[in-house]
Structure 1
């Protein structure tokens, strides 16, 4: 029985009625192996982030994480389910056309597409919209000057747990040359939505948000289709992995920036300053558009940290060869647009930073452990980071200072915006698609 989040529990229960062809036979009462509150089980929560028992003993947090482990995205799932009637390429083309032209101008498009986009235009009253553009500007600086050197490392977070990583293993999206495409798509998404008006209707960022949301639903739909029957191609065991790509797994990706700032603020015992609070609101709004409910988008530093850590505390630890392959292929991927000497040097520097970020975030600085997980740091990586850090940090500091000065703030934002646009040219044109014909079996 839901004591703290009855509305969220009711939303989960309605999924079988709202989309019976996908969830009619899904057991929403059976807790999957991935979710554990057994104090003897090892979880995904690193010891440095606090006492696991503190989170397991919090009934409100446990109910929220458990409930959200069963939460899908029915409006987007309905569109994904259309892939049983339409070729994927045709369905994607219809979605893009409705994004760009409006549903009324694409009468041949199924109504489910227009309903999803209409839903995404709704503005909930729990977001402070006066802060959105300021939060986007703050995020834009990071997208221009920091993310290109950190996204690959952060992208690997999903792959350090075999329960959360299985959707990527299933799709084969992070193997071979497709690894570079997925990393660049992710970086491009966070960059394009941070541009001025990046989440406005008919903006490229809005269309990208629709496509990302649909891509997650396509993976969910195809994984559940493979959980049925006795075919040798059956690869998704709901008793072990539960619901594919549940909303609780979308929370870390959507709120990683706010979490990093919040964790520092909580440790220092201070409140978030205005620019960081604005960034939090921007991330909450973007994540809302991606389908996350208010319950999974807390607005205070302590609540963000608690939910982030509570999820990790209940996610059973697992790291297997599939995870290692995902980590290795992602780290080895070449992300630059050409083979010029400059691009090769830039790729080498970015990889060095990503390796260091991975070792610090997931291995507590233990280089041997990082190597066991597929990330090999060399003295040359450390030397590259040390040589370039003064330039990168001073440039970031200069832009941040200029952005706070009335006589320079406009110039600083134009510089950052132009740099983001150039970054988007480097990342290429994102596809944000997934095709079950390419899935690993």
Structure 2
């Protein structure tokens, strides 16, 4: 008996919607990356959670398998119009539709109308007042903490060959492209926290549409233009199950803290951040089935994804991505301050990445991230500035007498960070794809 029949129907619909792209993929078979064999090593470390109970849960295994085969049923068809309109043409029409509505686009293709309609179809569970409250709390982290951790979080997405290969195929994480991708990611998560950003004509809404198009262009080019993509091994490029961790990493950390403190329910502040995060994920195309509403549910989907993802760290794929990302210079200038800020941020990112390795420095080094004494010294010296400022801002944001002033300061800091990140392009160039 199927636990998620609607999600399964959505997966199977991809072949009918785009036979040229998905016609060769057998959605009834699991790709090699997906494994429920207890004898296979998965991406779930034993120190994080026990794999056996997850594999014994038929419902959660079905959810993971189904979401592993799901791309984006509305953005992918739009991306497939690239041969006709060109990538810049697609971007231009999408931006125009976000700014002034799809009717403002001359001869708007049906695929664009369906794409925007899906984003505009707000879910029944949505509480926009709660979303704005969650955004207010989230921009404290975006202003004072994320700038020091975003690279480390980005690196964590490259720890598995099967999940990281799409980014390798794009050629987008080598040289200057690596810096652009990190800054674009940081820019997206920062801009969505600004007041009103996720409203229909907000900057975050448009950014989410552009990210979806970029992801769909990666799928299109991987399937249609690259000879390295083996669907029997890798399944669907950038499946929704691989996008869930990035969209809910903040909630995973909050859920972990809550359960360690013996709480089974989110606090009112955490509940607001969850509403904000879930709606941001909805705009990015994630199905509701991957967006739990409880701390236990958040932990379950994170651990289950890792439990069924076959372990593999190929240095030519993952190691190269990690090294190019760590080497990327993210600052806008080369002043003494910029160079010092770059060094401090890289040290914080290495320490944060170490957390994904369970504090095992040898494991981190095997993945091309080496923590040195200067890194530890930089972090130790800047801890009072980074952590204390974040904690003070968090406390102030929850005090009625200080809330407005604290939020005004946080907004100013977020906008300043956006200037550092630069203008996000959210594009992928098919000419950089090996075998294209």
- TM-score greater than 0.5 by the shorter chain: yes
- Alignment partner, residue 269 of structure 1: 262
Deviations 1:242-292 (A, max 9, x none): 111111111111111111111121222202211111101101001011111
Task: Tell me how many residue pairs correspond in the alignment.
Answer: 433
**Alignment partner of 1:247 is 2:246:** no
Specify which of 249, 253, 257 is matched with residue 250 of structure 2. 257
Distance 1:86 1:107 in 2: 13
TM-score by length of 2: 0.97
- Paired residues of 2:70 and 2:240 also in contact (CA < 8 A): yes
**Alignment partner of 1:340 is 2:335:** yes
Distance 2:94 2:212 in 1: 12
- Alignment partner, residue 49 of structure 2: 50
- Alignment partner, residue 373 of structure 1: 367
Q: CA offset at residue 127 of structure 1? A: 2.9
Runs of 4+ in 1 over 4 A off after TM superposition: none
Distance 2:434 2:198 in 1: 34
Distance 1:13 1:108 in 2: 29
Distance 1:12 1:378 in 2: 46
Distance 2:420 2:230 in 1: 39
Distance 1:156 1:117 in 2: 31
After TM superposition, the structure 1 = structure 2 runs for residues 296-315 of structure 1, keeping only pairs within 5 Å, are: 296-315=290-309
| SS of residue in 1 equivalent to 2:332 | coil
Distance 1:339 1:215 in 2: 30
- Alignment partner, residue 412 of structure 1: 406
- Alignment partner, residue 70 of structure 2: 71
Deviations 1:359-401 (A, max 9, x none): 121x221222212211111100000000000121211122122
- Alignment partner, residue 105 of structure 2: 106
- Paired residues of 1:19 and 1:74 also in contact (CA < 8 A): no
- Alignment partner, residue 203 of structure 2: 204
- Alignment partner, residue 229 of structure 1: none
**Alignment partner of 1:327 is 2:322:** yes
Q: CA offset at residue 108 of structure 1? A: 3.2
What stretches of structure 1 of length at least 5 have no aligned partner? 227-232
After TM superposition, the structure 1 = structure 2 runs for residues 177-196 of structure 1, keeping only pairs within 5 Å, are: 177-196=176-195
- Alignment partner, residue 91 of structure 2: 92
- Paired residues of 1:284 and 1:297 also in contact (CA < 8 A): yes
Distance 1:57 1:337 in 2: 50
- Alignment partner, residue 4 of structure 1: 3
- Paired residues of 1:185 and 1:431 also in contact (CA < 8 A): yes
- Alignment partner, residue 18 of structure 2: 19
TM-score by length of 1: 0.96
| SS of residue in 1 equivalent to 2:242 | helix
- Alignment partner, residue 350 of structure 1: 345
Deviations 1:307-351 (A, max 9, x none): 110000000000012100100110111101100111111111110
| SS of residue in 2 equivalent to 1:408 | helix
- Paired residues of 2:397 and 2:407 also in contact (CA < 8 A): yes
- Alignment partner, residue 229 of structure 2: 236
**Alignment partner of 1:391 is 2:398:** no
Distance 2:16 2:398 in 1: 52
- Alignment partner, residue 230 of structure 1: none
Cα RMSD, aligned residues only: 1.2
Distance 2:224 2:413 in 1: 42
